[in-house]
Structure 1
Amino acid sequence: MSYCLNPNCPNPQNPETSKFCLTCGQKLLLKDRYRAKKPLGQGGFGKTFLATDEDKPSKPLCVIKQFLPQAQGTSTLEKAAELFEREAIRLDELGKHPQIPDLLAYFIQDNQQYLVQEFIAGDDLGKVINKEGNFNETQIRGLLNNLLPVLQFVHQHQVIHRDIKPENIIRRTQDRQLFLVDFGAAKAVTTTSLHKTGTSIGSAGYVSPEQAIGRATFASDLYSLGVTCIYLLTEVPPMNLFDPGDGNWIWRDFLREPVSDNLGKILTKMLAGGTNRRYQTAGEIIKDLQSQIPTNNSVPKTAAKIVATSAQNQAKPANQNPIYSELLEIKSEFGQTGKQKQPNSPKQKSSSNSTRPKSQIDLELEQLKSEFREGNK
């Protein structure tokens, strides 16, 4: 099917091979290349459509974004048009990152602005949580470890996204990789712009206090990502997770599953109202997340288990400690010179030891005794 992009067309659906809309007569191929297939959604600045790139033999899928603002008024429309063009510029700069959709084209046709970008097959996290339910701690840690490097890349390019929320994070179906999308609200940062008050923009509930008054910083994106995390943990709208009376987040009261104190502290710092009390960079959060993961240089599991078991056994009284008894037996059999004493009679082991199943430590001790005996014959 071909879909007519004329906003006023009463019957936009057309046959697959049509070059012009059968109802309104508008040309169906954008730039003689991109054919819209069906609508995907609509936002504040325009509509998005699933499309194919017919200039390539494989006709790969792509996304057409059409500038179609809902707001009215000359100044508002001009600002909206500026933001739409800005999104194209940001995508052109940032689309080289593997987790940001690549910009394929930006142009004006029939007096309307369009941008075409890479299609990511998957669902945004708003749809994911509706289908699968709330996230647990493991999923939240995975999300942070997956997205924070993307934000680090964006911020290193002196760009603030300003609209991070579940709907702007897509989970690709084939490998569950996360993608950051919708840079329509993104802002390029200069040395002076960080200290100037600009336009207040963002999504209600996810926007930071400083961004709400037009003074967004890099830490504003970290705040929004923190709000995204607590929403995914609770399935409760962000506005209901904040107590305006006390000025505190109360998201812990709505948890479906408990989270560790470590993750709780990270999220609390991401959600701090004052920017000086909040994480300043994505790298700081990555460092705190990684500091809580055991490294490869830690004690091997088997050795750690033996050390722990030995420590527990050493804490027992000698008459209750089977390992201690085994060591005494070795000591009695081998003198200070290493010569083996002639055995008198077989030792009668306690009933507790005779019925006790042999552990790995028991086997190792028996092997040790055997080696001593062989070496002293």
Structure 2
Amino acid sequence: MSYCLNPHCPKPKNPDDVKFCRTCGSKLLLKERYRAIKPIGQGGFGKTFLAVDEDKPSKPRCVIKQFYPQAQGTNTIAKAVELFNQEAVQLDELGKHPQIPELLAYFTQEDRQYLVQEFIDGQNLAQELAHRGAFSETQIWQLLNDLLSVLQFCHARHIIHRDIKPENIILRESDRKLVLVDFGAAKSATGTALNQTGTSIGSPEYVAPEQMRGRAVFASDIYSLGATCINLLTVRSPFDSYDTNNGTWVWQQYLKTPVSNQLSRILNKMLESIPIRRYQTVDELLNDLNQQSQAAATPAISAKPLTTQPTSPPAVVPKTHSQIDLELEQMKTLFLGKAQPQNNNQNQPKTQSIQPSSKSQIDAELEELKAKYLGNNNTPNQ
């Protein structure tokens, strides 16, 4: 099927073997190669379509974003144009990362702007949450390890995503990697941009307080990622996991299964309302994560140093009669050496009431120990 991209077309569905819409006559192929199949999303600034690239033999799927602002007002439309252009620039720069969609084309056709990008086959995390239920602690650790490298890549190029949320993270079907999408709200942090108050953009549930005031920083993305994690753990809106009366997060109360103190501490630091108390950089957060994983992986220190790792436990070798005689003789010598005769000095305090055993008594006791040991040990004499 071909889908007409004319927003005013009353019957946009067409067969896939035609080049012009049978209802309104609009061209169905963008740049003579990209054919829309069906709409997959719509927002205030445009529509998104699943498409195929007719120019390639395999006809791979792709995504067409059509800029078509619904909002009214000159300032709003101007801002929409800026964001749409900005997304193309960001994707062109960032799309070489394997976990960010690649920009395939950016152009204007019939007075409408279009952006074509790589299609990521998979469900976003909001869909995964709806289908599979609350995430486990292990899944959250994996999410952090997988996504932080992507965020590190963006921040190293001075790009703040500004709209991290479950809907903008796709679990790619082919390799089960997480892909960060929708850079329409991304902002450059170069030059003086960090010190300028901008437009408040992003989903309110996941947006850091400073970003709500138009002052997004790198740590704002870290906050949004933390809010995403507690949504996935609790299956609740981050708004519902915050106690506004006391100004504290209470997400632990709504966990489906408890999580470790290590993960709680890291998420709470990611979610600090005051930016300076939060992780300032992805590197700082990654270092903390690595320390936690190393601590968890380090085994308890053994009493004796390990030399080699035998394939089976070492056999206990029974002792011979001569070895037993020798050890008992050593015990006898040691004991007699410590049992010094009592001094008859009258001035010495009488604190020692237990008299040492005589030599004959010691001999008798050692012979008794020897007999008991040999009685339990059936080893022949050597």
**Fold conserved (TM > 0.5)?**
yes
Partner of 1:248: 248
* Cα distance in 2 between the residues matched to 1:65 and 1:333: 91
Alpha-carbon distance change, 297 to 161 in structure 1, aligned in 2, over 3 angstroms: closer
* Cα distance in 1 between the residues matched to 2:60 and 2:194: 40
Q: Which moved more, 1:119-128 or 1:325-334?
A: 325-334
Partner of 2:374: 347
Pair 1:169 & 2:190 matched: no
- The one-letter amino acid of 1:123's match is Q
Alpha-carbon distance change, 298 to 270 in structure 1, aligned in 2, over 3 angstroms: closer
- The one-letter amino acid of 2:169's match is I
Any unmatched runs of 5+ in structure 1?
A: 309-322, 355-368
Task: State the Cα distance separating 1:238 from its structure 2 match.
Answer: 1.2
Partner of 1:119: 119
> Is the partner of 1:81 in helix, strand or coil?
helix
Alpha-carbon distance change, 240 to 332 in structure 1, aligned in 2, over 3 angstroms: same
* Cα distance in 2 between the residues matched to 1:284 and 1:139: 21
Partner of 1:21: 21
> Is the partner of 1:211 in helix, strand or coil?
helix
Partner of 2:341: none
* Cα distance in 1 between the residues matched to 2:36 and 2:127: 23
Pair 1:332 & 2:332 matched: no
Alpha-carbon distance change, 108 to 296 in structure 1, aligned in 2, over 3 angstroms: same
- The one-letter amino acid of 2:157's match is H
What do the CA deviations read for 1:217-262 (whole angstroms, capped 9, x no partner)? Answer: 0000000000000000000011111111111111111111100000
Pair 1:211 & 2:204 matched: no
Task: State the Cα distance separating 1:294 from its structure 2 match.
Answer: 3.7
Mapping for residues 1-377 of structure 1, pairs under 5 Å:
1-294=1-294, 298=298, 332=324, 347-349=374-376
> Is the partner of 1:348 in helix, strand or coil?
helix
Partner of 1:361: none
Using structure 1 for the length normalisation, give the TM-score: 0.82
> Is the partner of 2:204 in helix, strand or coil?
coil
Q: Indicate the structure (1 or 2) with the bigger Cα radius of gyration.
A: 2
Alpha-carbon distance change, 244 to 328 in structure 1, aligned in 2, over 3 angstroms: farther
What do the CA deviations read for 1:249-278 (whole angstroms, capped 9, x no partner)? Answer: 111111111000000000000000011100
* Cα distance in 2 between the residues matched to 1:11 and 1:247: 52
Task: State the Cα distance separating 1:325 from its structure 2 match.
Answer: 12
* Cα distance in 2 between the residues matched to 1:42 and 1:333: 92
Alpha-carbon distance change, 325 to 220 in structure 1, aligned in 2, over 3 angstroms: same
Task: State the Cα distance separating 1:345 from its structure 2 match.
Answer: 9.2
What do the CA deviations read for 1:191-210 (whole angstroms, capped 9, x no partner)? Answer: 32212211111111111010
CA-based RMSD: 3.2
- The one-letter amino acid of 1:348's match is G
What do the CA deviations read for 1:65-112 (whole angstroms, capped 9, x no partner)? Answer: 111223211110111011001000000000011100000000000111
Task: State the Cα distance separating 1:135 from its structure 2 match.
Answer: 0.3
Task: State the Cα distance separating 1:57 from its structure 2 match.
Answer: 1.1
Alpha-carbon distance change, 274 to 298 in structure 1, aligned in 2, over 3 angstroms: closer
- The one-letter amino acid of 1:349's match is N
* Cα distance in 2 between the residues matched to 1:205 and 1:258: 23
* Cα distance in 1 between the residues matched to 2:146 and 2:30: 35
Alpha-carbon distance change, 336 to 192 in structure 1, aligned in 2, over 3 angstroms: farther
Any unmatched runs of 5+ in structure 2?
A: 307-314, 331-369
Task: State the Cα distance separating 1:174 from its structure 2 match.
Answer: 2.0
> Is the partner of 2:230 in helix, strand or coil?
helix
* Cα distance in 1 between the residues matched to 2:322 and 2:121: 68
* Cα distance in 1 between the residues matched to 2:288 and 2:327: 54
Task: State the Cα distance separating 1:127 from its structure 2 match.
Answer: 0.6
Task: State the Cα distance separating 1:289 from its structure 2 match.
Answer: 1.4
> Is the partner of 1:41 in helix, strand or coil?
strand
- The one-letter amino acid of 1:136's match is S
Task: State the Cα distance separating 1:327 from its structure 2 match.
Answer: 8.7
Q: Which moved more, 1:220-229 or 1:194-203?
A: 194-203
What do the CA deviations read for 1:34-88 (whole angstroms, capped 9, x no partner)? Answer: 0001111112321111111111111111000111223211110111011001000
> Is the partner of 1:59 in helix, strand or coil?
coil
* Cα distance in 2 between the residues matched to 1:238 and 1:296: 28
Count of aligned pairs: 335
Partner of 2:360: none
- The one-letter amino acid of 2:189's match is V
* Cα distance in 2 between the residues matched to 1:72 and 1:330: 103
* Cα distance in 2 between the residues matched to 1:329 and 1:151: 71
- The one-letter amino acid of 2:374's match is K
- The one-letter amino acid of 2:123's match is D
- The one-letter amino acid of 1:332's match is I
> Is the partner of 1:171 in helix, strand or coil?
strand
Using structure 2 for the length normalisation, give the TM-score: 0.81
* Cα distance in 2 between the residues matched to 1:74 and 1:12: 29
Alpha-carbon distance change, 20 to 293 in structure 1, aligned in 2, over 3 angstroms: same
